Structure 1
Amino acid sequence: MAQQITLPDIQFTDYDVQKILSESLVSLQNKTGKVYEKADPDRILFLALMNEIIQLRVLIDREKKADLLPYAAGVMLDYIGSLYKVERLQAEPATTQLRFNLSTQLSTASTIPGGTRVGVQNADGSIYFTTNQTIIIPPGSLFGTVPATANVTGESGNGFSIGQVNTLMDPLAFVASVSNTTETGGGSNIESDDAFRERIRIAPESFSTAGPRDAYVYWAKSASSSIIDVGLSTPNPYEVVVVPLLTGGNIPGQEVLDAVYESVNDRTRRPLTDLVKVQAPAAVSYDINVKFYISQDKAAESQTIESNVRQAINDYILWQKSKLGRDINPTNLIGRMYAAKAIRVEVVSPVFTEVGQLEVAHETTPNIVYGGLAND
């Protein structure tokens, strides 16, 4: 990865409220020769005006920071991206492959029109997939397969397993059934500020076709806003393996892998000599078996603390699988549980485990036990 320069926080204006009010009041009293008591109307008016000035200082600082990549957000980040010809990735719908099965062999071709809708089982028609093109099932054949796209953008169309998209909403003659042959995937929400900011940061790497590491990372992330991390390896000379990871530590399906492959293999981006492959990360499974106690002194808060500890464990699980190559680290888990005010933590598993750069840690069903109240 390209080295990221670390810079100190910057503040364009001073807006320490107490300091400004105190110094301004002293300055006013020195210039007027008058001591302003707390109930003095002139003092109250002066302080009210100074508060307005302080708010202006805060606004100036915030707006000036918005010109800088580390602080920019929203539309200001879009403007910074435009300087590098980088656009925020918009929300995308999920996709899948649909198989239409005929009730009998026909002597003539059967047409499945483009735009045919197939709903998700038990979804009440709120989410459905539409065929992308018209297909012709030849005479004598019993089925045909066609790509389809969800009616909604975002991640809500992801994760429907094989066979779960099976409700034909536009009845067709001789079609007995329909179902998806691949798990639905590839749907993504609009790119977040953090993800967009990172792509802008590494955008200069994409200006070269000499094969810099971050160029492959940039173009892989450009394939979908649901990609949060990209691993790379070169197992053989001139061979590049690209491994994307999705939001929430999810393993990408074939639709996302295909999109990444198309993005990194564009002839204007890939060096002619590179053989680029795209594959899903390997999951390294680990158990969570923990028991925790809450201080006897905090019995009145025990329900809240128990909830916070359980949330801390969930946050750890998400943290653990949100980056490729992140070693399974029980110390991080214990620290989070103590920070949530557990008084004692007993961890049977996980144990420290190294995770390869093209792998991601995935938890099995957690076993979390609240042991009750204990003495400090």
Structure 2
Amino acid sequence: MTDKESGFPDINFVDTDTETLVTSLIQSYEMFTGRTLYPADPTRLFILWIADIIIQERVIINESAKQNVPRYAQGKYLDSLAEIFRDTYRLGAKSAKSTFRFYLSKALTVPQMIPQNTRVTLDGKITFETTEDLYIKAGELYGDVAATCQTVGTIGNGFVPGQITQLVDVYPYYEKVENITTSAGGAEEETDEAFYKRMRESMETFSTAGPIGAYEYHAKSASTIIADVKATSPTPGVVDVRVLLQGGKLPDTEILNEVANVLKADDVRPLTDNVKVAAPEAVPYSIDFTYYMWERGENSAEVIAEEVNAAVNKYKQWQSTKMGRDINPSYLISMVMATGVKRVDIRSPFFTTLADNAVAVAEKTIIVNGGIENE
């Protein structure tokens, strides 16, 4: 496994260089027997076979030993090493959540209860169930209640209001049912890389003074789909926490509430802090440029166009996955030039400095093929 954190030296516990081992074995054999081993000597071939087995064993020993070092550890070994950090455990998969509205066919003179675990499905596969009993008051035609997806993970995310409408458990005077918020909050189990990074960040939580790193650590603990967190204090006693999701997505209400609940816990928030959780400020930008190809380039115009589009998409991803990252046209030019084009005439974006709690969001994209130029 590659080093999870740049800046640390790569380490090996045993030597796994085949050439060094073979040389040592042959020299030792010749010293003890007085014989010279030539390349085609059967004994030399036997030694090569022995060396191959020894190297395989050394590789296994090396990898096993590395599982005792957090930055190399994987899976259950990394989970075991987490006990040396403060209250840090791998985040498990979570189910998506949404709010559902249940309708009655007529207003009743007594409250109508819709029991907890009432199920509503999208297609018979993705199903949500209510988390508590819902009481629709006398004289009213509907009531709202929270529900969670029965299948954990991101599969339950992203269903817009009115998309989940098929009732599984029918109740008296049923009229219809629908989700009134976009389903969100579903997450897969935390990856080794993300877990290791959060383990290191957990050291910030030893302070009781409300350091920035502690707020960012606890916010990331809310869900594995959180990619970046920025905590600032615009005024004394106020902590402004901004959350960005994987893929540069802005969080919705479900995720923000989840983060807020984590940060406002008595053992997390200093008593005097007023914590506010929100999405980052979205700073829109457009991409507009013309690229020119070499007269005798190796690739066709179609291949170049595909590679330029891929470079632009990669730039958008890079630009939007971290808060406080300035809008940098120079980086866009370098990525497009790397495809093999001759030059790039860029009209937008312009270099723009972003605040720590802001993120760049791409809007319009215009890519023009300017044709061929000679030297």
TM-score normalized with structure 1 length: 0.89
SS in 1 for 2:186: coil
Does the 8 Å contact 1:309/1:341 carry over to 2?
A: no
Identity %: 40
Matched, 1:10 2:44: no
For residues 337 and 71 of structure 1, do their structure 2 counterparts lie closer, same or farther at Cα, with a shift above 3 Å needed?
farther
Matched, 1:331 2:330: yes
- For residues 55 and 89 of structure 2, what CA distance do their matches in structure 1 show? 35
For residues 5 and 340 of structure 1, do their structure 2 counterparts lie closer, same or farther at Cα, with a shift above 3 Å needed?
closer
- For residues 228 and 205 of structure 1, what CA distance do their matches in structure 2 show? 18
For residues 375 and 25 of structure 1, do their structure 2 counterparts lie closer, same or farther at Cα, with a shift above 3 Å needed?
farther
For residues 242 and 171 of structure 1, do their structure 2 counterparts lie closer, same or farther at Cα, with a shift above 3 Å needed?
same
Q: Which residue of 2 aligns with 1:362?
A: 361
State the Cα distance separating 1:300 from its structure 2 match: 5.6
- For residues 72 and 372 of structure 1, what CA distance do their matches in structure 2 show? 51
State the Cα distance separating 1:305 from its structure 2 match: 5.5
SS in 1 for 2:165: strand
Matched, 1:39 2:37: no
Matched, 1:80 2:81: yes
SS in 1 for 2:56: helix
Q: Which residue of 2 aligns with 1:246?
A: 245
- For residues 304 and 28 of structure 1, what CA distance do their matches in structure 2 show? 58
Matches within 5 A, 1:347-358: 347-358=346-357
Letter in 2 for 1:181: I
State the Cα distance separating 1:344 from its structure 2 match: 3.7
Q: Which residue of 1 aligns with 2:149?
A: 150
The partner residue of 1:95 within 94, 97, 101 is 97
Letter in 2 for 1:138: K
Letter in 2 for 1:361: A
Worse-matched range after superposition: 105-114 or 366-375: 366-375
SS in 2 for 1:47: helix
State the Cα distance separating 1:187 from its structure 2 match: 0.9
Partner deviation per Cα, 1:330-368 (whole Å, 9 max, x = no partner): 222232333344444343322221121111111124334
Letter in 1 for 2:121: G
- For residues 45 and 296 of structure 1, what CA distance do their matches in structure 2 show? 58
Partner deviation per Cα, 1:81-136 (whole Å, 9 max, x = no partner): 1222311001101101111122322223222222222233xxx3222221111111
- For residues 306 and 76 of structure 2, what CA distance do their matches in structure 1 show? 37
Q: Which residue of 2 aligns with 1:118?
A: 120
Partner deviation per Cα, 1:32-55 (whole Å, 9 max, x = no partner): 443323222111111121122222
Q: Which residue of 2 aligns with 1:208?
A: 207
Matches within 5 A, 1:251-266: 251-266=250-265
For residues 117 and 336 of structure 1, do their structure 2 counterparts lie closer, same or farther at Cα, with a shift above 3 Å needed?
same
For residues 348 and 146 of structure 1, do their structure 2 counterparts lie closer, same or farther at Cα, with a shift above 3 Å needed?
same
Matched, 1:267 2:269: no
Worse-matched range after superposition: 349-358 or 21-30: 21-30
Partner deviation per Cα, 1:191-221 (whole Å, 9 max, x = no partner): 1112111111021222332212211111111
- For residues 106 and 252 of structure 1, what CA distance do their matches in structure 2 show? 38
Letter in 2 for 1:15: T
Letter in 1 for 2:71: P
SS in 2 for 1:141: coil
TM-score normalized with structure 2 length: 0.89
The unaligned stretches of length 5 or more in structure 2 are: none
For residues 295 and 268 of structure 1, do their structure 2 counterparts lie closer, same or farther at Cα, with a shift above 3 Å needed?
same
Does the 8 Å contact 1:337/1:345 carry over to 2?
A: yes
For residues 201 and 341 of structure 1, do their structure 2 counterparts lie closer, same or farther at Cα, with a shift above 3 Å needed?
same
Note the aligned Cα RMSD (angstroms): 2.5
- For residues 345 and 51 of structure 1, what CA distance do their matches in structure 2 show? 52
State the Cα distance separating 1:151 from its structure 2 match: 2.0
Worse-matched range after superposition: 207-216 or 277-286: 207-216
State the Cα distance separating 1:17 from its structure 2 match: 3.2
Partner deviation per Cα, 1:251-292 (whole Å, 9 max, x = no partner): 111111111111111112211111111111111111123444
Letter in 2 for 1:109: P
- For residues 221 and 338 of structure 1, what CA distance do their matches in structure 2 show? 36
Q: Which residue of 2 aligns with 1:71?
A: 72
Letter in 1 for 2:362: E
State the Cα distance separating 1:230 from its structure 2 match: 0.8
Does the 8 Å contact 2:101/2:143 carry over to 1?
A: yes
Residue-pair matches, total: 370
Worse-matched range after superposition: 179-188 or 24-33: 24-33
- For residues 228 and 165 of structure 1, what CA distance do their matches in structure 2 show? 28
Q: Which residue of 1 aligns with 2:216?
A: 217
Does the 8 Å contact 2:25/2:47 carry over to 1?
A: no
Q: Which residue of 2 aligns with 1:108?
A: 110
Partner deviation per Cα, 1:4-23 (whole Å, 9 max, x = no partner): 99432223333233444345
For residues 302 and 9 of structure 1, do their structure 2 counterparts lie closer, same or farther at Cα, with a shift above 3 Å needed?
farther
State the Cα distance separating 1:57 from its structure 2 match: 2.6
Does the 8 Å contact 2:327/2:352 carry over to 1?
A: yes
SS in 1 for 2:63: helix
For residues 222 and 107 of structure 1, do their structure 2 counterparts lie closer, same or farther at Cα, with a shift above 3 Å needed?
same
Does the 8 Å contact 1:98/1:180 carry over to 2?
A: yes
Worse-matched range after superposition: 49-58 or 272-281: 49-58
For residues 105 and 209 of structure 1, do their structure 2 counterparts lie closer, same or farther at Cα, with a shift above 3 Å needed?
same
State the Cα distance separating 1:321 from its structure 2 match: 1.3
- For residues 23 and 338 of structure 1, what CA distance do their matches in structure 2 show? 49
Worse-matched range after superposition: 144-153 or 348-357: 348-357
Does the 8 Å contact 1:299/1:373 carry over to 2?
A: no
- For residues 295 and 74 of structure 1, what CA distance do their matches in structure 2 show? 49
Worse-matched range after superposition: 251-260 or 365-374: 365-374
Letter in 1 for 2:129: T
